[in-house]
Amino acid sequence: MEVKIQESWKLKLSDEFEKEYFMKLVSFVREEYRTHTIYPPGSLIFNAFNLCPFDKVKVVIIGQDPYHGPGQAHGLCFSVRDGIPFPPSLVNIFKEIESDLGIPFPKSGNLERWAIQGVLLLNAILTVRANMAGSHQGKGWEQFTDSVIRILNEQKRNLVFLLWGAYAQQKGAVIDRSKHLVLESVHPSPLSATRGFFGNKHFSRCNEYLISNGIEPIKW
């Protein structure tokens, strides 16, 4: 199956695109876009991959499913386009960066600036119906993104995985801790951020690890 995705990822995931579950997923997603309002726009489903080629990945942040409000989702977990109000979890991420690294609160919630430096902003589920959180769960996206994580784990070294919340931690359970740095905490959601997201210092710890392995740190 021909999938419009960045070339290095196309090579890594070519077997996945031929599997029966992925064919069914594509049929489901096409029908959803035809009959409902779906986020992100179809051209941005694989935005995380297109902005961060396989060979450039340094850090992986795992989210759950896209924002489901108008104009928010653009294919990168936690990120919103310029001009869109920051969702609460993103506000808390920026608060922790400010506390951890002294970097002032940014004017833009668009995290493309991270992606092009090598941060794969990977949602477990890549599409969602408008105003219906979790509406595309169990349709095949989870299997696809599990394969992405497995391939990264097996074929790369010295990645940093940021796993926030039980869902991301469960998804990252396969990661080889002897090859990669795995940083875990509660989710940055306002429901949990005060129970261990604030003060986790994941951003400085990530950069320290990258530097210690001769890898350019991320400008958070």
Annotated active-site positions, please? 65
Q: Looking at residue 188, what DSSP letter applies? A: S
- Using CA atoms, how far apart are residues 138 and 65, in angstroms rounded to an integer? 12
CA 41 to chain centre: 17
In this structure, how many other beta carbons lie within 10 angstroms of the beta carbon of residue 14? 11
Q: At what angle do helices 88-101 and 202-212 cross, to 10 degrees?
A: 60
Q: Are strands 119-123 and 59-63 parallel, antiparallel or unpaired?
A: parallel
- Confirm if 181 and 208 have CB atoms less than 8 A apart: no
